[in-house]
């Protein structure tokens, strides 16, 4: 119910006029005498009056419920009476949860049932209303339900079920009329469906808890770990926080301080992607992170959990050299980007100092267990070896303490590692003779002096 324009929707009225004209033309081609009972509507129809009336909220609900053709068919067959709630009844007086329930795509049938409950397939004017003495009179609706018309004995108010008629005969047309009512009429079936859905939503799932762990050394229950201070590094390594598969979904609760994130990772990832676009020459990398994969969102989750990342971003010229075969395999873009993300916070200065001091340094990547090698070359940092190498081209494009972006002039690929089988050496078994006590040794010596040492089996 977004629009609040008096007079309904001009587009809907134009569509209805076209629908009426086409239907009338087809009917006249089949039956030249329109008075013979074809029952087609015209521009003076009560349905057109509803869509072009003060009841804009109801007319918008009719549009969203896809009931225009159904109502056109009903008006073509007989007169109808519409009970139209005032706009305030649908805007402010209606339960917000019930309004969301009606507008959900899966509840289209409930919305149609609700609207058909406000229409009866015969003409009932205010002069035809039942009197106080006649009691409640039942009328069937278009939704195979029924409403009761009555008049109060105290003040003579006209009622439809429990809603008061505040504008009797507000709009009258040859094929029907509209009564304005104070509030929405809700059939029992729709109310029960709403209550059932609300009851199911209110059932909260019980979080599973593992069995208590027992320390085998002390045979006592293990104590729960102390709460992690806010802003401290994550408890798990980043490889353990990553779920298996091509996405970087973190573990349920590896972050600092539980579920409350102390870093706005999504905002930081958004900032560095905007920086890449404004910097120029790195549009392909930004397109892969945002459009071709969901890595931008997953990187934001990791940073929110307390992890730090360094992105080696190939420029557009390097990305243009990628072949179709390198990108056509399932998960290939993700695997390429994984190899360019280092789970450390490195700047151009820190990497250059490392390779100057240690010669060749290998950094872990998110493409576990592959590592990217870096060394000093031509006064800069060179990653990889041979044709698959790349130089640090644009240093410190983005650095905020959690994410560092370094521009390189090539796309890196891990080297093919040969699997070396370790040869197991045979282990010789050493037979240890049982050690004899000193008293037994003295006895054996004495018996040996007389040649009787074979009497004891321990002396043999």
Res 373: pLDDT: 93
Structural domain total, the chain = 2
Domain membership of residue 185 as a residue range:
46-194
DSSP string, 125-191: -GGG---TTT--EEEE-TTS-EEEEEE-TTT--EEETTEEEEEEEEEEETTEEEEEESS----HHHH
Boundary-marking domain end, from 408, 436, 452: 408
Neighbours of 453 (CB within 10 A): 16
Does residue 176 fall inside a structural domain? yes
407 DSSP 8-state letter: E
Q: Examine the domain organization and report whether 270 and 179 are in the same domain.
A: no
Res 199: pLDDT: 65
Neighbours of 156 (CB within 10 A): 10
Cα–Cα distance measured from residue 145 to residue 142, given in angstroms and rounded to the nearest whole number: 7
Does residue 257 fall inside a structural domain? no
Boundary-marking domain end, from 194, 220, 253: 194
**How many alpha carbons lie under 13 Å from residue 260 in its C-beta half-sphere?**
7
Residue 160 bridge partners (DSSP): 149, 163
CATH at 302: 2.30.180.10
Helix, strand or coil, per DSSP, at residue 75: helix
Taking alpha carbons only, the member of 334, 256, 359, 272 closest to residue 309 is: 272
Does residue 450 fall inside a structural domain? no
Residue 84 bridge partners (DSSP): 180
* Per-residue burial over 262-295, b = 16 or more CB atoms within 10 Å of its CB, e = otherwise: ebebbebbeebbebbeebebbebbbbbbbeebeb
Q: Examine the domain organization and report whether 184 and 53 are in the same domain.
A: yes
Residue 292 bridge partners (DSSP): none
Res 104: pLDDT: 87
Res 434: pLDDT: 56
Res 395: pLDDT: 92
Q: Each residue's pLDDT tens digit in the chain (460 positions)?
A: 444 434 445 445 445 555 555 554 444 344 433 333 344 567 788 888 888 778 888 888 888 888 888 888 888 888 899 999 988 888 877 888 888 888 888 889 999 999 999 999 999 998 889 888 888 899 999 988 999 999 888 888 899 998 999 999 998 998 899 999 998 998 988 888 888 877 665 544 444 555 667 777 677 777 666 666 666 677 667 766 665 544 443 333 333 433 444 678 888 888 889 998 889 899 999 988 888 788 888 888 888 888 899 999 999 999 999 888 888 888 888 889 999 999 999 999 999 999 998 889 999 998 888 999 999 998 899 999 888 899 999 999 999 888 999 999 999 998 765 333 334 455 455 555 555 566 677 777 777 776 665 656 666 6
Does residue 221 fall inside a structural domain? no
Taking alpha carbons only, the member of 167, 186, 174 closest to residue 44 is: 174
Q: Examine the domain organization and report whether 190 and 270 are in the same domain.
A: no
Cα–Cα distance measured from residue 370 to residue 392, given in angstroms and rounded to the nearest whole number: 20
Contact residues for 61 (Cβ-Cβ < 8 A; gap 6+): 1, 90, 102, 111, 115
Does residue 92 fall inside a structural domain? yes
Residue 453: alpha-carbon gap to chain centroid: 88
Res 420: pLDDT: 39
Q: What angle do CA 419, 423, 424 make, to 5 degrees?
A: 135
Q: Examine the domain organization and report whether 283 and 377 are in the same domain.
A: yes
Taking alpha carbons only, the member of 167, 189, 176, 188 closest to residue 84 is: 167
Q: Examine the domain organization and report whether 280 and 190 are in the same domain.
A: no
Does residue 21 fall inside a structural domain? no
Cα–Cα distance measured from residue 127 to residue 130, given in angstroms and rounded to the nearest whole number: 9
Cα–Cα distance measured from residue 244 to residue 145, given in angstroms and rounded to the nearest whole number: 54
End-to-end CA distance of the chain: 106
Taking alpha carbons only, the member of 288, 315, 300 closest to residue 397 is: 315
Q: Examine the domain organization and report whether 187 and 295 are in the same domain.
A: no
Res 435: pLDDT: 55
Residue 376 bridge partners (DSSP): 381
Q: Are the CB atoms for 80 and 46 separated by under 8 Å?
A: yes
Does residue 441 fall inside a structural domain? no
Own/partner pairs, 440-445, CB within 8 angstroms, 24+ separation? none
Does residue 446 fall inside a structural domain? no
Residue 430: alpha-carbon gap to chain centroid: 64
Res 205: pLDDT: 46
Cα–Cα distance measured from residue 381 to residue 392, given in angstroms and rounded to the nearest whole number: 5
Boundary-marking domain end, from 150, 174, 194: 194
């Amino acid at each position: 119910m977004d629009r609040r324009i008096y007079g309904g929707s001009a587009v809907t009225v134009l569509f209805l006029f076209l629908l009426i004209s086409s239907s009338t033309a087809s009917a006249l081609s089949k039956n030249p005498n329109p008075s013979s009972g074809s029952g087609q509507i015209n521009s003076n129809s009560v349905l057109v009056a509803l869509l072009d009336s003060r009841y804009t909220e109801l007319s918008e609900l009719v549009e969203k419920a896809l009931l225009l053709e159904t109502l056109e068919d009903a008006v073509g067959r007989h007169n109808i009476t519409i009970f139209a709630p005032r706009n305030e009844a649908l805007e402010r007086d209606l339960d917000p949860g019930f309004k969301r329930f009606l507008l959900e795509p899966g509840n289209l049938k409930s919305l149609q049932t609700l609207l058909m409950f406000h229409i009866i397939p015969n003409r009932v004017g205010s002069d035809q209303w039942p009197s106080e003495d006649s009691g409640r009179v039942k009328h069937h609706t278009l939704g195979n339900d029924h409403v009761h018309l009555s008049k109060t004995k105290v003040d003579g108010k006209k009622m439809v079920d429990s809603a008061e008629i505040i504008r009797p005969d507000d709009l009258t047309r040859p094929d029907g009329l509209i009564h304005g009512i104070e509030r929405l009429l809700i059939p029992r079936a729709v109310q029960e469906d709403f209550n059932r859905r609300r009851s199911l939503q209110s059932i909260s799932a019980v979080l599973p808890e593992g069995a208590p762990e027992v320390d085998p050394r002390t045979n006592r229950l293990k104590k729960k770990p102390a709460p992690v201070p806010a802003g401290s590094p994550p408890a798990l390594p980043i490889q353990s926080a990553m779920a298996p598969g091509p996405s970087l979904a973190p573990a349920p609760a590896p972050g600092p301080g539980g579920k409350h994130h102390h870093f706005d990772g999504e905002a930081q990832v958004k900032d560095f992607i905007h920086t890449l676009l404004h910097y120029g020459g790195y549009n392909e990398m930004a397109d892969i992170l945002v459009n071709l994969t969901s890595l931008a969102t997953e990187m934001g989750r990791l940073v929110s959990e307390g992890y730090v990342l360094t992105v080696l971003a190939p420029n557009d010229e390097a990305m243009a050299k990628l072949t179709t075969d390198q990108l056509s395999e399932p998960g290939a873009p993700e695997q390429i980007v994984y190899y360019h993300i280092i789970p450390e916070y490195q700047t151009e200065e820190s990497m250059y100092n490392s390779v100057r001091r240690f010669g060749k340094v290998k950094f872990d990547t998110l493409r576990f267990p592959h590592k990217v090698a870096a060394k000093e070359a031509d006064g800069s940092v060179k990653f990889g070896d041979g044709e698959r190498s790349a130089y640090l081209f644009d240093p410190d494009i983005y650095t905020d303490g959690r994410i560092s972006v370094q521009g390189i002039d090539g796309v890196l690929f891990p080297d093919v590692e040969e699997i070396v089988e370790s040869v197991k050496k045979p282990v010789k078994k050493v037979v240890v003779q049982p050690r004899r006590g000193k008293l037994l040794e003295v006895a054996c010596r004495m018996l040996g002096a007389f040649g009787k040492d074979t009497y004891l089996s321990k002396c043999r």
